[in-house]
Each structure stands twice: as structure tokens, then as C-alpha cells.
């Protein structure tokens, strides 16, 4: 375990303040949830992701969409790509760029044909036609479904992606 050298007092209500630098480095925003674990005599705080428990479900949705359409599909949480149609190759998740995190925050559908490459993570660059559809759960934007095609995206594909986003959202809400 890495020491930060930071010491904080617990107030009369049992609260501690996580320093701003640590929150910024871990991309923890005000109002976000934190999981609390106990290991030996240590308290471990972990940033909570609603999507993390739904990776298997997201993988199934991605595989179905990809096989139905023949296109590449990705699902993200707020910071990582959690599933992609050609499968994640390791336990290390692709970290989204700050630009992608801003798109998630916007909560808007984005459909584009990029003339230049559009970087979504260190190893993944979009080109061609793509659709970014927000996944909304309990009023919060918790990720995106990204649909990538060589052809212009038609209305039936948009409805299919919307349906998939609603399925994932409902799966998370039910858990």
C-alpha cells in the first residue's frame, strides 16, 4: 500500500476529508460514491462504479450488437472502457481521455463523422461514423455506448443502441 503522508483527524460525526490532490488524481468528484473495505487493520476506500458489477451483462449486449450489425461497439463507465466487441485483452481497463469524460457529463447523444481521428483512450482512436449514446441510471450519466460504423448510421441502428443503453441502465437499477 502506498503512503500519501497525509494525516487527517476524524470529526465528532466520524467524517474525514480526503485531500483535494488525492480526489483530483483519482478523479473523484463531489457527490460521487466511495466503497469502504476493511482488510486486516486497514480501511480501504475505493471509487465506486455502478457499471463495474454489470461488466458481464455489458459484454453480452456488446457481442449481440456487434453480431447483429457487424460493427464495433464499446461500453464505458465514467472513466474506463469496460467492454468492447473484440473483447478486452487484459484486466487492465482502457482509461478514457478527459474529452470523453466531458462527453459523458454532457448526457447528450453524439453522432459524428470525424474527418480527423478522435482519441477516446490511449490505445483506441475512432474514425468513420460513430454514435455515442449516454447510459443514464437514476438521473446520472454513468457511461456511454459507442457504436462505430464504416457507413452512415441509420435510424434503426440508433434505436438499437438506445434500446441497449436502456437495457444496461435497467440492469444496473435492478441490482
pLDDT in tens, 16-62: 999 898 888 877 878 777 888 899 988 888 877 767 777 888 999 99
104, pLDDT greater than 70:
yes
pLDDT band at 167 (very low <50, low <70, confident <90, very high): very high
Examine the domain organization and report whether 60 and 117 are in the same domain: yes
Q: What is the CATH number of the domain that holds 166?
A: 3.30.450.40
Examine the domain organization and report whether 29 and 93 are in the same domain: no
Q: What is the CATH number of the domain that holds 24?
A: 2.10.260.10
Examine the domain organization and report whether 38 and 67 are in the same domain: no
Examine the domain organization and report whether 41 and 60 are in the same domain: no
* 133-136: Cβ within 8 A, 24+ apart: 133/109, 133/158, 133/161, 133/162, 133/164, 133/165, 134/104, 134/106, 134/107, 134/108, 134/109, 134/165, 135/51, 135/75, 135/165, 135/168, 135/169, 135/172, 136/107, 136/165, 136/169
The pLDDT of residue 87 is 52
The pLDDT of residue 34 is 84
Examine the domain organization and report whether 59 and 43 are in the same domain: no
162, pLDDT greater than 80:
yes
What is the span of the domain harbouring residue 23? 7-48
Q: Contact 145/74 with Cβ under 8 angstroms?
A: yes
Residue 1: inside a domain: no
Q: What is the pTM of this model?
A: 0.74
Amino acid at each position: 500500500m502506498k503512503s500519501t503522508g497525509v494525516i487527517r483527524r476524524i470529526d465528532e460525526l466520524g467524517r474525514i476529508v480526503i485531500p483535494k490532490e488525492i480526489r483530483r488524481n483519482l478523479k473523484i468528484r463531489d457527490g460521487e460514491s466511495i466503497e469502504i473495505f476493511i482488510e486486516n487493520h486497514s480501511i480501504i476506500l475505493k471509487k465506486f462504479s455502478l457499471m463495474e458489477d454489470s461488466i458481464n451483462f455489458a459484454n453480452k449486449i456488446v457481442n449481440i450488437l456487434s453480431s447483429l450489425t457487424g460493427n464495433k461497439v464499446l461500453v464505458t463507465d465514467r472513466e474506463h472502457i469496460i467492454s468492447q466487441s473484440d473483447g478486452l485483452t487484459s484486466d487492465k481497463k482502457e482509461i478514457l481521455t478527459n474529452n470523453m469524460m466531458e462527453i459523458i457529463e454532457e448526457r447528450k447523444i453524439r453522432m459524428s463523422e470525424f474527418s480527423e481521428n478522435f482519441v477516446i483512450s490511449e490505445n483506441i482512436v475512432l474514425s468513420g461514423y460513430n454514435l455515442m449514446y449516454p447510459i443514464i441510471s437514476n438521473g446520472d450519466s454513468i457511461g456511454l455506448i459507442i457504436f462505430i460504423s464504416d457507413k452512415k448510421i441509420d435510424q434503426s441502428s440508433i434505436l438499437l443502441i438506445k434500446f441497449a443503453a436502456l437495457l444496461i441502465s435497467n440492469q444496473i437499477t435492478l441490482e
